[in-house]
Amino acid sequence: MVYHIARDNQQLGQFEENEVRTGVESGRFLGSDLCWTEGMEEWQPLDRVLAAPKAPAPPELAELNPYSPPESQSIRAAGAEAPLASLGDRLIAAVIDAATFLAGYLPLILGLGITEDGEINPATGSPMLAAVGGLILLALLVANLFLLVKWGQTIGKRFVGIRVVDKERDVHPGAARLIGIRVVLNGLLGLIPFYALVDVLFIFGQERRCIHDYLAGTRGVKGQPE
């Protein structure tokens, strides 16, 4: 039996029952720590769960993924939501993402011979350099899309240790919201003058959510995905 353990509004991970019992005896886990496992209707303190006699899981729950919380029970409601990503972490992640793409844009611009007026001058460019820049950008795009769809992260977020989750629960929000809204729709809105600036300024709100977070129903939290 696998238990999800949480303390002080943060998940500690998933542990086998023998690990949990040993951890309680050694002081690694506290009796007041919250836990949830398949068959439980809500998160409960460890001391209450371990003291109770074992009961078999209902048959209808047998095929549920033991690594996922029940649909009707959110971690936030149990006071075990992951902590919000700090402004510093999000800034560092954004800088890393910008720097990686700059590594592709620079050779592309130089290779195309783009002038200050935005015109292409083949005489000053290099097709080989432009091709290298294009390949770098394509590789970065594929890598970031993969990370977003798989774990709700970009290269920068992965490096810093933060991720994007649903605004109500610590679960992956789905590719449609991450790609369709946070990337495509937000990119189109970026064509509106000053939108990008306003979008960034929203991060200083109490929930630390930008406009694209509100549109997609997401939030940025600390911790690598399991």
Q: How far is CA 5 from CA 49, 67, 202, in A?
A: 12, 12, 32
Q: What is the pTM of this model?
A: 0.59
Predicted confidence at residue 157, as pLDDT, reads 94
Q: Residue 123 corresponds to which tokens in the numbers above? A: 């005489």
DSSP string, 151-163: HS--HHHHHHTEE
Q: What's the pLDDT tens digit per position in 108-119?
A: 888 888 777 777
Are residues 204 and 197 in contact, defined by beta-carbon separation less than 8 angstroms?
no
The per-residue pLDDT of the chain, averaged, comes to 83
Q: What is the DSSP letter of 183?
A: I
What number of H helices and E strands is found in the chain?
A: 9, 6
- Give the pLDDT band (50/70/90) at residue 216: very high
Collapsing DSSP states into helix, strand and coil, what is residue 34? Answer: strand
Angle between helices 87-112 and 127-151 (to 10 degrees): 150
Predicted confidence at residue 52, as pLDDT, reads 60
Q: Residue 112 corresponds to which tokens in the numbers above? A: 């195309």
63 or 90, which is more confident: 90
Q: What's the pLDDT tens digit per position in 7-24?
A: 887 888 888 888 888 888
- C-alpha 220/C-alpha 226 separation (Å) is 16
